[in-house]
Amino acid sequence: MTLADVGGMDEVKKRLEISFLGPLRNPQLRTLFGKSLRGGLLLYGPPGCGKTFLARAVAGEMGASFISLSITDVLNMWVGSSERNLHDLFESARGHAPCVLFLDEIDALGHKRSQLNSSSMRTVVNQLLTELDGVDGNNDGVFVLAATNAPWDIDAALRRPGRLDRTVLVLPPDKPARAAILEYHLRDRPVAGIDLGKIADATDNYSGADLAHVCETAAEFAMRDSIATGEVRMISQQDMLSAVRDVRPSTDGWFATARNVAMFANESGEYDDLAAYLKKRKMR
């Protein structure tokens, strides 16, 4: 899988290209412009819109130098020794530089320190801050990609310069992106006479995961008939339209929360993209 498999997300891809993939491919220019190969990017947005999927695509672009870990797993797997293991994880990333270290569900760890009642959690957060700063080791060539649904729960210290200082909002796909996502999820399925443009029109507000679910549901309809009649029937436009009616967009709840944040907790302008999107969609 590569970035080409990710439908839409042009802004996100551009950012990745400028801040990491481009410099990685051009070592001479990197030296010339004094650009260090390090940094952190926080992907945030509603569930199912492709944050994890995108990270996997970056892995594909880069070959082997990709370490991916869900923070929930870090905390569950290594009770009591999370800091040590976090350190080992970063050490391994440094050893494999250039490397992307993907920390999924970072809100599980980065909860505002004031909210943490367990002091062991606090130690883990502090350890992550230390690792991001690279005090103990040189972070050159280590690019940290993190993802979350709840950036407002993340410790502000994690978002200071030199850490996860760049933020990209990953939104539900627009129409061309929806067509691309639908095409991707139908690529290995038997289809006949499907008008992707029409389906894309009918799925405004659907997340990538919702669209994947639409394709799966349509495939089920065609398979159900094929089993009943003993004759293979291709997935049709009608199957797709019925599936769209069955699958409801799942991002409404997230936007309800996000709306409050954009309205009442955006003094520093960090949620301006979100506010602009909500305004465009007339959600505020």
Ligand X SMILES: Nc1ncnc2c1ncn2[C@@H]1O[C@H](COP(=O)(O)OP(=O)(O)OP(=O)(O)O)[C@@H](O)[C@H]1O
Q: Find the shortest distance in angstroms from Cβ 137 to ligand X.
A: 28
Q: Which does 258 bind (CB under 5 to 8 A by kind): ligand X, Mg ion, none?
A: none
Query: CA angle, 179 as apex, 174 and 184 as ends, to 5°?
Result: 120
- Shortest-Cβ-distance residue relative to ligand X: 208
Tokens of 37: 């190969």
User: Among candidates 204, 177, 151, 182, which has minimal Cα distance to 9?
Assistant: 177
User: Among candidates 183, 188, 184, which has minimal Cα distance to 199?
Assistant: 183
Closest CB to ligand X among residues 125, 169 = 169
Q: What is the amino acid identity at position 16? A: L
Tokens of 265: 């907790």
Q: How many residues does the chain have?
A: 284
String marking each residue 103-142 x if it binds ligand X according to CB under 6 A: ----------------------------------------
Closest CB to ligand X among residues 21, 43 = 43
Q: What is the DSSP letter of 47?
A: T
19, 37, 52, 154: which one binds ligand X (CB under 6 A): 52
CA 246 to chain centre: 25
58: contact with ligand X by CB under 6 A: no
186: contact with ligand X by CB under 6 A: no
Q: Which does 49 bind (CB under 5 to 8 A by kind): Mg ion, ligand X, none?
A: ligand X
Residues forming a β-bridge with 142? 99
Q: Which does 39 bind (CB under 5 to 8 A by kind): ligand X, Mg ion, none?
A: none
181, 186, 194, 218: which one binds ligand X (CB under 6 A): 181
Span near ligand X by CB under 6 A; candidates 10-18, 42-50, 136-144, 225-233: 42-50
**Residue at token pair 């929360």:** 257
Q: Find the shortest distance in angstroms from Cβ 83 to ligand X.
A: 25
CA 82 to chain centre: 23
49: contact with ligand X by CB under 6 A: yes
Closest CB to ligand X among residues 99, 181 = 181
Helices within the chain (DSSP H only)? 10-16, 22-25, 27-33, 51-62, 71-77, 82-95, 107-110, 119-133, 175-186, 196-201, 208-229, 237-246, 252-264, 272-280
Q: Find the shortest distance in angstroms from Cβ 29 to ligand X.
A: 29
String marking each residue 147-176 x if it binds ligand X according to CB under 6 A: x-x-----------------------x---
Q: Find the shortest distance in angstroms from Cβ 47 to ligand X.
A: 3
Tokens of 218: 């349509």
Report the alpha-carbon distance of residue 234 to residue 189 in Å, rounded. 8
String marking each residue 18-57 x if it binds Mg ion according to CB under 5 A: ---------------------------------xx-----
User: Among candidates 142, 141, 207, which has minimal Cα distance to 174?
Assistant: 207
Span near ligand X by CB under 6 A; candidates 22-30, 45-53, 111-119, 187-195: 45-53
53: contact with ligand X by CB under 6 A: yes
22, 47, 134, 141: which one binds ligand X (CB under 6 A): 47
Query: CA angle, 200 as apex, 194 and 203 as ends, to 5°?
Result: 120
